[in-house]
Structure 1
């Protein structure tokens, strides 16, 4: 029910998913001049891919998303809004927020068939309150944003945070919820929070690591609602379902619902990934936890990789285990880190729904290519990754990939093309990373990858 403050998968130290809270000085080069940054770029046309697995697998995912919570407890009944959903915004919206909200509401109406509209009154089904990151962290220290039932403001949540009314496990109907979003971070972070938290306000409460193609996953791989997510939300508001139904009652109706909503899933092979044991999730989360020491995090990352190996996984979760190890080792043991990145790539190749995962691995591998002067190899890796980042609307990743592409083009002597690509990267970087000084620092860090004299 909240998005973590630490992005689960960053791309090197040079490609973190959000700007840091406090300013640090950007790396500098001799004679470096301040950049004249272009306008912020934004995504205009969503390109969600439909789910690529069977309806039987989707039904299992639907039930686990709606009838379980992240801690492992189960929910006794199905809940959703039973009347048209109204939404209001309070606080001080971030720049560009209205455009993002309108675009998401249009998608929910068109792709998920949900009756949802914005209102300007004093009450609504859902209140989105825009506050500072500091206020969010004071209320929930590990969260970048979050959603709570039965309140309409952060002040009301603080008064009732230990009350049964704000306990998701005790929720029996949805009438009034609040979503708390930051208004002082990058445009992408605000938008990502909006998609994830509003989706959980109106839909499933659980997250599942086994889902490679969903925002309902704590790995934070996806930035915006996917085709799978829209199918889950459309099924959530199917007329055959209603609040109060048991898991068995919902399960009995799902096959017909999914056959109607997703006919392509009827002929697909009925395969699904195995459950994610709590031991792997705990180790993975420990590896990413900012409170632990590096030694403890490395131990946890190795534990996650060992569990994935022992379970015989060959899916994105095993790749994630190696990718995490590579990130942690790339400064201290770069050659070992490279092997982990290559292993992650090998597990991801050919897996449906993992284009964004492969793009993030490509950042790491292209950085190694550039550092060793192999521009041609970097360009080959970056081309499909750039397409994946664009189609998944991840501006932070897209800008990083374009910056890397510019460096690789310069290595190949294609100077004019490199300048065009680098300029293109800056507009996306302003959306993905926010403040101009962060954009400039990112550009400097990537430029520093190239061998001296090249």
Structure 2
């Protein structure tokens, strides 16, 4: 039974007793070759490389435009038709001081109370109806820094138009309010997003980065924005303090030029603290009838009243009304 094991042990013993063969001479290690010097690119090579990167970036942008969904293309046509229809009806007017809509102190006071001291939307983006819910006076305390964010589908020329127009309107808001309003490339506290339908539906993660603490319900409202809404804005304060610290506006990239301008004017002005729309406000962009496309003199006066130091954040309508009436009378007397 144990024979195979014994044989194996015997073989091992024999192998151990044999004289070892002499070791072969060591093989010399190959010497590493000198590494060739890295060629220094010429200025022409660098120029060609930059040109190649630019071509690739432009091609990627062009591809993003080509890849726009059928829904986005249909919406572009839809909003172009909507703009033509509104203009055919005599709406989307651009006159700053319309002669057919005079303003007196009582009208200005009433419109201010309806627009600045009421909310168009309740929590969750639900329209309140009935002229809006009563709200305290709110405005900014820190300088307003407007930062524009574009989706990949927005071409370079359109981005330039937006930046120029937004910068000019920021100066107009600053002049009307006496409050610092400026455009910035980064670190903004008032984000303006220009997005196609596809980009808007996927904006949640980026929006959460740009506006820390933004409620999930507000992100959902923007992602599911009704087609009838050209644009929207949300403004936020820290805790219960009625002073704005952040805001975000969403403008559809599919809008034609005049509706683009109308959205810039309305949403940025509303984000300053004129949060409501009123069917009785005229001549004003804060009216859903779209009669006026651009900020009017009446609307500039509303902004002046809002940032008058005699008013303070947190005031209710009854507290603010006599002060507002006095300010309105003064402003109209100055403009005569």
TM-score normalised to the size of structure 1? 0.42
Correspondences of 1:92-241 after superposition (within 5 Å): 92=151, 94-95=158-159, 96-122=161-187, 124-136=188-200, 138-142=223-227, 143-150=229-236, 172-241=242-311
Q: Name the counterpart of 2:113.
A: 63
- Residue 90 of structure 1 aligns to a residue whose secondary structure is strand
Structure of greater Rg: 2
User: Gaps spanning 5+ residues in structure 1: where?
Assistant: 18-45, 152-164, 267-454
Any conservation in 2 of the 1:54–1:265 contact (CA below 8 Å)?
no
Contact kept, 8 Å, 2:230 with 2:255, in 1: the verdict is: no
Q: Could you list the per-position Cα deviations for residues 146-166 of structure 1 after superposition, in whole angstroms to 9, with x for gaps in the alignment?
A: 112349xxxxxxxxxxxxx9x
Find the residue that maps to 2:178 and give its secondary structure.
coil
What is the CA distance between 1:196 and its match in structure 2? 1.0
Structure number with higher helix proportion: 1
- For the 8 Å contact 2:249–2:268, the answer to whether it is kept is yes
Residue pairs, 1:256-275, within 5 angstroms: 256-263=326-333
Structure 2: unaligned runs, 5 residues or longer: 1-77, 121-128, 201-221
Aligned position for 2:148: 89
Q: 2:104 — aligned with what?
A: 54
Once the two structures are superposed, residues 38-92 of structure 1 have per-residue CA deviations (whole angstroms, 9 ceiling, x without a partner) of xxxxxxxx86218722112211111111222342342341111122212111224
Question: Separation in 1 of the partners of 2:176 and 2:96?
Answer: 10
Tell me the alpha carbon deviations over residues 418-437 of structure 1, each in whole angstroms, 9 at most, x when there is no partner: xxxxxxxxxxxxxxxxxxxx
Note the alpha carbon deviations across 1:142-200, whole angstroms, 9 max, x for none: 4221112349xxxxxxxxxxxxx9xxxx8843111100112233222221111111111
Write the distance in 2 (CA, Å) between the matches of 1:113 and 1:97.
23
Deviation at 1:203, TM superposition (A): 2.6
Residues 81/131 of structure 1: CA separation in 2 closer, same or farther (3 Å cut): same
Are 2:295 and 1:245 equivalent residues in the alignment? no
Say if 1:8 and 1:220, in contact at 8 Å, map to a contact too: no
Indicate conservation of the 8 Å contact 2:170/2:181, yes or no: yes
- Write the distance in 1 (CA, Å) between the matches of 2:270 and 2:315: 18
Residue-pair matches, total: 217
What is the root-mean-square deviation in Å for CA atoms of aligned residues? Answer: 3.4
The 8 Å contact of residues 80 and 237 in structure 1, kept in 2 or not, is answered as: yes
Q: Is the 8 A contact 1:7 1:16 kept in 2?
A: no
Q: Secondary structure at the match of 1:176?
A: strand
> Which deviates the most, 254-263 or 202-211?
254-263
